[in-house]
A and B are shown apart, each in its own frame.
Chain A
Amino acid sequence: MNIMIVGVGGQGSLLASKILGNVLIEKGYDVKVSEVHGMSQRGGSVVTYVKYGEKVYSPIIDKGEADVIIAFEQLEAVRYIEYLKPNGKMLVSTQKIDPMPVIIGNAKYPENIEGLLANIETTFVDAVKLAEQAGSVKATNIVLLGVLSKNMDILAETWKENIKKLVAERFVALNIKAFDLGSSVCA
């Protein structure tokens, strides 16, 4: 299975991939998680690959190889469409963040994102709102993990144990709530 997490630098996709990776190790899979540091931390487009199975070789997911893409931002969902398998799924947070070419008026943010994703099995989630409900916008990443968990055959408890392990103690309750809100979204 190949899962891609795409978003904008600073949205917390690294923590999400770390939790996911640890959950998968616990299930006995071979796991590889790939990320690129550096320029991507400066508000650029960020992509993380999570691959698991009996044996994983390449750490990257190539075009046409992703089973699921979790997009933390709508434009980023569209950017990586070609990485999906023909029957792949998209989980998209409805958040929109203008990239610099849009901010300075050199380009327009695509208006018809739903139309562009029309032929793909897509779940839109207002993850930012759910994270706010849980207590902080910063838990948007964990809300989306919750949504993902409904697409995977792994017990909620396993997810929560790993959230406890990898999140600072004072934020655990908030993140567990965020996970629960995410996993209650129909996907």
Chain B
Amino acid sequence: MKKLLIGNEAFARGLYEAGCSIVSSYPGTPSTEITEFVAKYCDGDYFEKAKLENGLVTLEQTALNTVYAEWAPNEKVALETALGASIAGARSFCGMKHVGLNVAADPLYTASYTGVNGGLVIAVADDSGMHSSQNEQDSRHHAIASKVPMLEPSDSHECKEFVKLAFSLSEQFDTPVIVRLSTRVAHSQSIVDICERKNVPLKEYVKNPQKYVMMPAFAKLRHVFVEERTQKLIKYAEKSSLNVVEDNNTEIGVITNGISYQYAKDALGDNVSYLKLGIVNPLPVQLLLDFAEKHKTIYVLEELDGIIEQHCKSIGIDCKGKEIFGYIGELSQNIIREKLADVINNSNQITACESELNNDTVSLTVRESRLTVKSNDDAKTHANVVGRPPVMCAGCPHRGVFYVLSKNKVQVSGDIGCYTLGAGAPLFAMDTTICMGASISALHGMNKANPQNESKTVAVIGDSTFIHSGINSLINVAYNATNSTVLILDNSITGMTGHQQNPTTGKNLKGEPANKIDLVALCKAVGIERVRVVDPYNLEETENAIKEELAISSPSVIISRRPCALLKYVKHNAPFSINDNCKSCKACLKIGCPAISVDNELTIDNGQCTIDNNSKPRVKINNTQCVGCGVCKGLCKFGAIEG
């Protein structure tokens, strides 16, 4: 059966088909959907079918036929959980985004030594182009440094097939296997052939401290094993079906990986030959040398760092890559067309007389594309198109908090989540954002450096991020004593990644009841005596709390508690409206709510828009967007907002 699936859903299908039975992950764009989709196999359509066919099913069969999936508090915990499940004998999986692998790096580097029992596959989704990330790191460095093999698919079907192969390799070579995705592979849909699940029984666990107890005496032996394994993996990479040569009998050879292969095929078609590397660590040697020998000119097309290129140069291949394409952002078919056309023309490697017919086609395509790019540019230049940055939603509980912080000119140590949007217009209420959990620890450092600032600075952190690693930072505030003021923005969900449950929500990944952390008790338990809860829809209460806690000489936590307005169970009030008392003073616009705007009279008649520029600008509330949170009402001195 053929289905159109995003890379992440295909990846999840691969986990299911490969007989993976334990999944532990932490959400992070663009990796989140792998775990969300695989969780759907928890109930197991397969299990239901088995039940129908066989009548009764034993407990063992249930475990065999379904996938258990969970959201862990952070990536380190998730990977350790998956490794434990692997040691216990199950095929296991752990998924995260690129920066998550930094958090999970500690278990990763030692899991490389212990190896596995049941296969262990790790997904890491890089975000070249930084669509939704704080940096643009290339995770291949972690694979190289931890000496763990890494595969990289280039479309959805490969996602599914590479995952299945990754489990086999993991068990064959006794190693965790990382599968690297990029945003475009993870979030683009392409056609996938659906197969049946292969049931993999739990492997027997045999006590083996030399393999699993990584103290120096045993770890020294395992390091020898790791180096030998890498040599075996290189040999495997030389012959593997994942490293594909497409020889089009051309002078130019392109060595590429992942999504860059798709862009290259789009731009250059069959006018060059390809070596597509599905195994990005370790890289082969002879395969590359043979390919290079057959082609006069070699280009390496890879996003982010020049890892394949450096490897090629280290084994003596004369090639070009980063000097043309750089290290920043995504590639695309247009970029490849333009940059390679210039190089080909300038280097005179293909002159008019010696160029073959097919190479002419390349230049022609390039010329065409350039013409096209220019043709519609003019209209846009005239338009002066105003940007549309993402904003906090109408009714977002974070808005009131940032309004108060902005109004009181508080310095804000920020963190990772929807609330990072507080940094943008019109509130500009954020000074720093570094990584998960850093808001509180960085604030502690700022306050140690300049204690006078203790009364002017706060940290803001979401509920999920607080549990991820913010709690460690809060322990430091209490233990090493700064009078820091920490705001936990508890919207009862992991918001930015699209609503995942976490240990503060009282539900597990499947939405079933689960243990719910009492944030007040937790903060008190680590030694923060002043902990209070406010409703961020109540601006006065929120402002008073922040002012009081900043003024007091002791560490404190303010929990701003109100569920995300997009959660399905949240009941919205009727939309507010503007009455005739409005003086168009625009004070209500200061909170940056997307439901409030100023407009001239606008009429739509028979599909034509007409704007009456002579009418008086008036403030309006969009009644499909407004959820009646009432935060704007508190800003109006004239009683013009009602609801």
Measured CA separation A64–B547 after assembly (Å): 54
Q: Which A7-33 residues have a C-beta within 8 angstroms of B?
A: 8-9, 18, 21-22, 25, 30-33
Flag if B386 contacts A82 (CB, 8 Å).
no
Flag if B597 contacts A103 (CB, 8 Å).
yes
Flag if A74 contacts B387 (CB, 8 Å).
no
Q: Which A78-103 residues have a C-beta within 8 angstroms of B?
A: 78-79, 81-86, 94, 96, 98-103
Q: Which B375-395 residues have a C-beta within 8 angstroms of A?
A: 375-377, 379-380, 382-393
Mark A126-148 against chain B: 1 for CB-CB distance below 8 A, else 0. 10010000000100000000000
Q: Which of A82, A96, A100 contacts B602 (CB 8 A)?
A: A96
Flag if A33 contacts B4 (CB, 8 Å).
yes
In the complex, what residue of chain B is closest to A115 when comparing beta carbons? B382
Given contacts A44-B390, A116-B382, contact A103 B624 (CB under 8 A): no
Mark B583-597 against chain A: 1 for CB-CB distance below 8 A, else 0. 000100110111011
Measured CA separation A102–B29 after assembly (Å): 29
In the complex, what residue of chain B is closest to A25 when comparing beta carbons? B4
- Is A156 interfacial (CB-CB < 8 Å)? no
Flag if A82 contacts B385 (CB, 8 Å).
no
- Is B571 interfacial (CB-CB < 8 Å)? no
Measured CA separation A99–B592 after assembly (Å): 10
A residues near B384, Cβ cutoff 8 Å:
110
Measured CA separation A21–B6 after assembly (Å): 12
Flag if A42 contacts B372 (CB, 8 Å).
no
Flag if B189 contacts A63 (CB, 8 Å).
no
Flag if B188 contacts A59 (CB, 8 Å).
yes
Flag if B386 contacts A57 (CB, 8 Å).
no
Given contacts A34-B189, A60-B332, A124-B608, contact A43 B387 (CB under 8 A): no
Q: Which of A43, A103, A126 contacts B589 (CB 8 A)?
A: A103
A residues near B110, Cβ cutoff 8 Å:
none
B residues near A116, Cβ cutoff 8 Å:
379, 382-383
Mark B16-55 against chain A: 1 for CB-CB distance below 8 A, else 0. 0000000000000110110000000000000000000000
Number of A-B contacts (CB under 8 A): 215
A residues near B332, Cβ cutoff 8 Å:
58, 60, 62
Flag if A59 contacts B190 (CB, 8 Å).
yes
Nearest chain B CB to A158 CB, angstrom units: 15
Flag if B386 contacts A34 (CB, 8 Å).
no
Nearest chain A CB to B234 CB, angstrom units: 29
Flag if A34 contacts B188 (CB, 8 Å).
yes
Flag if B379 contacts A79 (CB, 8 Å).
no
Measured CA separation A111–B611 after assembly (Å): 8
Flag if B262 contacts A59 (CB, 8 Å).
yes
Measured CA separation A117–B380 after assembly (Å): 9
- Is B320 interfacial (CB-CB < 8 Å)? no
Flag if A137 contacts B624 (CB, 8 Å).
yes
Nearest chain A CB to B176 CB, angstrom units: 27
A residues near B604, Cβ cutoff 8 Å:
94, 126, 129
Measured CA separation A41–B497 after assembly (Å): 9
- Is A151 interfacial (CB-CB < 8 Å)? no
Measured CA separation A25–B262 after assembly (Å): 20
Given contacts A21-B4, A33-B189, A116-B383, contact A99 B375 (CB under 8 A): no
A residues near B30, Cβ cutoff 8 Å:
37-38
Q: List 13 A-B contacts (CB under 8 A).
A: A25-B191, A34-B188, A38-B496, A40-B390, A42-B390, A56-B190, A64-B371, A65-B334, A94-B607, A99-B386, A100-B391, A101-B389, A129-B604
Known: A38-B30, A98-B594. 10 other contacts (CB 8 A): A31-B4, A37-B30, A38-B496, A39-B131, A44-B391, A58-B333, A86-B371, A102-B386, A114-B608, A129-B604
Binding site for A on B (CB under 8 A): 2, 4, 6, 29-30, 32-33, 131-132, 155, 183-184, 187-191, 259, 262-263, 265-267, 332-334, 369, 371-373, 375-377, 379-380, 382-393, 418, 421, 424-426, 496-498, 586, 589-590, 592-594, 596-599, 602, 604, 607-609, 611, 613, 624
Binding site for B on A (CB under 8 A): 8-9, 18, 21-22, 25, 30-45, 49, 56-60, 62-65, 74-76, 78-79, 81-86, 94, 96, 98-111, 113-114, 116-117, 119-120, 124-126, 129, 137
9 pairs of A and B residues whose beta carbons are closest in the complex: A64-B372, A38-B132, A44-B390, A59-B188, A42-B390, A99-B388, A34-B188, A58-B266, A38-B29
